[in-house]
Amino acid sequence: MNYTSTFLKQLFAVVAMLFICSFSIAQKIDQTFLPKGFAPGEKEKMKEYLENRNNQRSSTVITTPPTGSAIRTMSEWEEVQALVIVWTSYLPVHREIIKAVQNETPVIIVCSDSNTVKSNLTSNGVALTNLSFLIAPFNSVWIRDYMANSVYTNNVDSLVLVDWIYNRPRPKDDTLARSIANYMNIPLYETSGGINNLINVGGNYMTDGFGNDFSSNLVLDENPTQSSTEIGQIMNNFMGTGNYIKMNTLPYDGIHHIDMHMKLLDEETLLIGEYPAGVADGPQIEANLQYVLSNHNSVFGTPFKIIRIPMPPEPGYDYPPNSYYYTYANNSIVNKTILMPTYPVNATTPSYHDTIAIRIMQEAMPGYNVVGINTKSTISASGSLHCITHSIGVTHPLLIKHQALPNTTNSTIDYSVEAKIMHKSGISAATMYYRTDISQAFVSVSMTLLNPLTDNWTANIPAQIDGTIIHYYIQAQAVTGKQQVRPITAPTGYYTFEVYQPLNIEEMTSAVDFKNAYPNPSKGITCIPVQTLSSVKGSIKLFDIAGREIATIFEGEFTRGNSNYFINTQEISSGAYLLILQQGEVKQAQKLMIR
């Protein structure tokens, strides 16, 4: 027997098997752990990928805009029929997502093997309730970026999906929308035909549902052969974009997706991530915000309201560029639930910053179930909960567009509650509910159709005396019997406004409510809420007990309404301090303990 020959054959077989296994494992790792940004070598492949993509375009894909009038892209706070995730990496995070929303809406799990997913879920105590499984090819977990958006023709009539070209050379991700559209039996349109070619990603896009859309200038950089006007026209044709607001990219966020630092909470409210003064992307975020406020209004023609939420440091690494991009802005709204990124100390202890952020979201979004989910694992790859989830809108939405009533000094004239209410079948009835005492039941008032051509309805809340706080919400019913409320969390959540006594000039200068800072005692980022009846100039400063100024927290104009200001006390010595708010000659003080 030729032992040498036999040995060499066996050795060759072993080496070949190891190579095959290594290649298989490498493929699996590449698919499972592809980052949100470019993986090594991907950027160089992008040009070739786009050329091949255009040459191999499917003949069944619709690359012309949706037909019909009044194209409208669904906003994130509208009713959805399903949440979609891709079962690959970060499985503990996906299990928490499923648990948080499976009683809220069906969850579609894109996967390679449904039995493996079911086994993983059941063995980790997750029920299989309200879940469906779609076997389809994919490359990565970042479905927000490459999944299609829900779009309606004639505002509410027909649901279609609109898919852009993905900005990564990942063909399975780039075409996953086709599998989902087929599975859901929803028409799919792609911006991938000649003059309609458009590269864009969901993480760099948000909409108010009425044509005010936002992106960073990444959308310009990645479509260099088209002008801003041409890009805007494609967005208008496919998405109904009327006003495409584009902002400078940030120096340190890496991927330039706006969902990492800002979010629309409703048609007129922007959630803005805030760093300490002069830190990381803070200056550019603020410059972008001031650009938006100076040049654009909400769909109601009024300035956007601003709610600030801290951008937390990574423990031990401070802020970008010396850390991962920790953020709370990358949350996801799913019907009446908000999936909120958190970065806990351990499995049972939320971080100091998590507590602040969740409280801010609960106050900003009354009635919503704000569910914190640990995303330390995903943030290391430049993404969080918004990045790994995507929603599909309901087939026939009952749309209620309403601008919340502001605080008022009017105590003699009834308060008109107006709303644009639409459904494909028409609206059979609309009701406004209000109360002036939280311990009492809501009073119902039938709404009247003002104009059938504009779908505007109205009802009045009787004028109230000074000091009254009014809660209200709107309910509507379609001809088909479908019902909807706004806010979608009503009656648990509702709109609130207050009737104030008219102020004279002297009183207007001191009409600032300096609310209690929290948390107190403080050991890091501390939130200082301020409410004003009018825009007034002033400052917030921190002093020690000897009267020495330690920090200027804010100096400028307090905008009308509710605002949050922040100070990071991590580097300040422990002890007792005073927060001083000053406007004009009037000073207000509160004690702040720093640990």
pLDDT tens digit sequence for 183-195 = 999 999 999 988 9
Question: Looking at the structure, do residues 371 and 351 belong to the same domain, yes or no?
Answer: yes
Q: 513 pLDDT exceeds 90? A: no
Residue 33 inside a domain? The answer is no
- Domain limits for position 522: 505-594
Residue 347 inside a domain? The answer is yes
On whether the CB atoms of residues 523 and 497 are closer than 8 A, the answer is no
Residue 6 inside a domain? The answer is no
d(CA 88, CA 112): 9
pLDDT tens digit sequence for 85-127 = 999 999 999 999 999 999 999 999 999 999 999 999 999 999 9
Q: Read off the pLDDT band of 501 (50, 70, 90).
A: confident
Residue-wise DSSP of 394-454: -SS--EEE-PPPPPB---SSPEEEEEEEE-TT-EEEEEEEEES-TTSPPEEEE-EEEETTT
Residue 431 inside a domain? The answer is yes
How many domains, in total, are found in the chain? Answer: 3
Q: 473: domain CATH number?
A: 2.60.40.10
Q: What's the count of helices (H) and strands (E) in the chain, helices before strands?
A: 13, 33
Question: Lowest-pLDDT range, 188-192, 265-269, 535-539?
Answer: 535-539
Question: Looking at the structure, do residues 452 and 525 belong to the same domain, yes or no?
Answer: no
Q: Read off the pLDDT band of 25 (50, 70, 90).
A: very low
Question: Looking at the structure, do residues 526 and 483 belong to the same domain, yes or no?
Answer: no
Residue 280 inside a domain? The answer is yes
pLDDT tens digit sequence for 438-476 = 999 999 999 999 999 999 999 999 999 999 999 999 999
Looking at 482, 498, 514, which one is the last position of a domain? 498
Residue 36 inside a domain? The answer is no
Ranges of beta strands (E only) in 275-351 are 305-310, 332-334, 337-342
Question: Looking at the structure, do residues 280 and 409 belong to the same domain, yes or no?
Answer: no
Residue 379 inside a domain? The answer is yes
Question: Looking at the structure, do residues 240 and 140 belong to the same domain, yes or no?
Answer: yes
How far is C-alpha 80 from the chain's CA centre? Answer: 15
pLDDT at site 61: 83
Residue 23 inside a domain? The answer is no
The residue type at 211? G
Looking at 361, 393, 425, which one is the last position of a domain? 393
Q: 518: domain CATH number?
A: 2.60.40.1930
Question: Looking at the structure, do residues 423 and 327 belong to the same domain, yes or no?
Answer: no
Question: Looking at the structure, do residues 475 and 530 belong to the same domain, yes or no?
Answer: no
Question: Looking at the structure, do residues 274 and 231 belong to the same domain, yes or no?
Answer: yes
Q: 374 pLDDT exceeds 80? A: yes
Question: Looking at the structure, do residues 483 and 574 belong to the same domain, yes or no?
Answer: no
Q: Name 244's Cβ contacts closer than 8 Å, sequence gap at least 6.
A: 213, 215, 228, 231, 232, 235, 236
pTM of the entire predicted model = 0.86
pLDDT at site 129: 98
Q: What percentage of the chain has pLDDT greater than the value 70? A: 92
Question: Looking at the structure, do residues 300 and 163 belong to the same domain, yes or no?
Answer: yes
Q: 12 pLDDT exceeds 80? A: no
Question: Looking at the structure, do residues 60 and 177 belong to the same domain, yes or no?
Answer: yes
On whether the CB atoms of residues 417 and 448 are closer than 8 A, the answer is no
Mean pLDDT in residue range 552-560: 88
Looking at 366, 393, 420, which one is the last position of a domain? 393
Question: Looking at the structure, do residues 125 and 233 belong to the same domain, yes or no?
Answer: yes
DSSP state of 595: -
Q: 140: domain CATH number?
A: 3.75.10.10
